[in-house]
Amino acid sequence: MREHMERYAAFYREKERSGCSITGIMDTSGTRFSGGAIMRSIACMRERANGLGGGFAAYGIYPDHADRWCFHMMYETTKALARTEEFLKRHYAIVADEMIPTRETAAVRYRPKLWRYFLRLLDEKKRTHFDLTEEDIVVNTVMEINRDIEGAFVASSGKNMGIFKGIGYPEDIGEFYRLDEYEAYLWTAHGRFPTNTVAWWGGAHPFGILDWSVVHNGEISSYGINKRYLENFGYCCTLSTDTEVIAYLFDLLVRQHGLSFELVGDVLAAPLWSSIERLEDRARRDLLRTLRIIYGPALLNGPFSVIAANATSMVGLNDRIKLRPLVAATDGNRLYLASEESAIRTVCAEPEKIWMPKAGTPTIGRLQEKKHGKTRQVH
């Protein structure tokens, strides 16, 4: 990726410092709504952005291919496209593929080739890799493309969802990708760019793996140890940004290790040892001790607020002393998370409830499942 990163760096010579913005809207009933709402919400925080990155994740946007893996790809060269398609065809049947629709937007420049594929894993690959789940095979596919095919990058790889991102202000990126024409039951968005890395399309937020997506405000100073820890489980961090580790940690802890979001909060935003030792609740104290011993390398150091999502949930999480802002609100079936209250009130003027989540405590929205005319929360 060196060539295109140098090209983008030459254009964006001055990297203005500013505060990242994140926002998310989920309809827990599964009702889909236009991307216009999330675009207005993130645009409200334009002063927190700097034009070096913006992006969105959307869930429920491909109902006609809901059971297929959907890869959103970025290509720097035609050669990278050809190599990637050749690689994919060895493992998957390409059910459908097309260029991702865009519209001309003056503020969006130096775009890569943007393509999407709807894939079905070949039965032969399932038999050959009988010791792996289908999700494991897809993760390995993403890691291999990002690591080994120069000029190719997987932006997202889940089912019935997609990540749309690039260099620009988020509202310009949304306009570019025509997100007002999509409908989803869950949207997240990000403005600005990773704190210490050069601007390039693949490095903008959100970051994803399978149906996970993560947007992040802050800086992860534990990136080095988090990266080495994840490598033990087959994850390769190749995107030159600290946020990448958060997406992979959610996949590892929830999908592979079966932890609840509450426990993930205790791992990623673990209390200080001194705070743990002062707890009077012995069971809680022993649990937190155990988690810190087992998952010490997964602890996220540094200031952060995060919105993570998958096909059934949206989760907001702050660092353990809340060094970055996060506001939550609910109104009917809608859950809102954002860096600023204004971003929520722009799209929901009078929410039923609005609050500031506690440091290190996840705020969780879960998709309802309809059965026999009733709804229940999916856990």
Residue 44 pLDDT? 94
Average pLDDT, the chain: 91
Residues 60-85, mean pLDDT to the nearest whole number: 97
The pLDDT confidence band at residue 195, using thresholds 50, 70 and 90, is low
Kind and range of the H or E run holding 329: strand 327-331
Q: Is the pLDDT of residue 374 over 50?
A: no
Rounded to 10 degrees, what is the CA torsion of 302, 306, 309, 314? Answer: 130
Catalytically active residues, by annotation: 20
pLDDT at 34: 97
Q: What is the pLDDT of residues 311-339, one digit of tens each?
A: 999 999 999 999 999 999 999 999 999 99
Residue 39 CB burial class (10 angstroms; 0-12, 13-18, ≥19): buried
85-103 average pLDDT score: 97
Residues 112-143 have pLDDT tens digits of: 999 999 999 999 999 999 999 999 999 999 99
Burial class (CB in 10 A: 0-12, 13-18, 19+), 119: buried
Find the range with the poorest average confidence among 42-56, 184-198, 260-274.
Answer: 184-198
Residue 12 pLDDT = 47
Answer whether residue 193 shows pLDDT above 80. Answer: no
Mean pLDDT of all residues in 71-80: 97
What local confidence, expressed as pLDDT, does residue 277 receive?
96
Residue 18 vs residue 310, higher pLDDT: 310
Residue 373 pLDDT grade (very low, low, confident, very high; cuts 50, 70, 90): very low
pLDDT digits (tens, 9 = 90+) for 210-225: 999 999 998 899 999 9
Share of the chain above pLDDT 70, in %: 91
Cα 163 from Cα 280, distance rounded (Å): 44
Q: Where are the alpha helices (DSSP H) in the chain?
A: 2-11, 36-43, 78-89, 123-128, 134-148, 170-176, 223-231, 244-250, 261-268, 273-277, 282-294, 341-345
Task: For residue 253, give the DSSP letter.
Answer: I
CATH superfamily to which 2-377 belongs: Aminohydrolase, N-terminal nucleophile (Ntn) domain (3.60.20.10)
Contacts of 344 (CB under 8 A, 6+ apart): 23, 41, 327, 329, 336, 338, 351, 354
Rounded-to-integer distance, Cα 132 and Cα 118, Å:
21
User: What's at 156, amino acid-wise?
Assistant: S
Give the start-to-end residue ranges of the domains of the chain: 2-377
Of residues 110 and 270, more confidently modeled? 270
pLDDT tens for 266-314 read 999 999 999 999 999 999 999 999 999 999 999 999 999 999 999 999 9
Say yes or no to pLDDT of 13 above 90: no
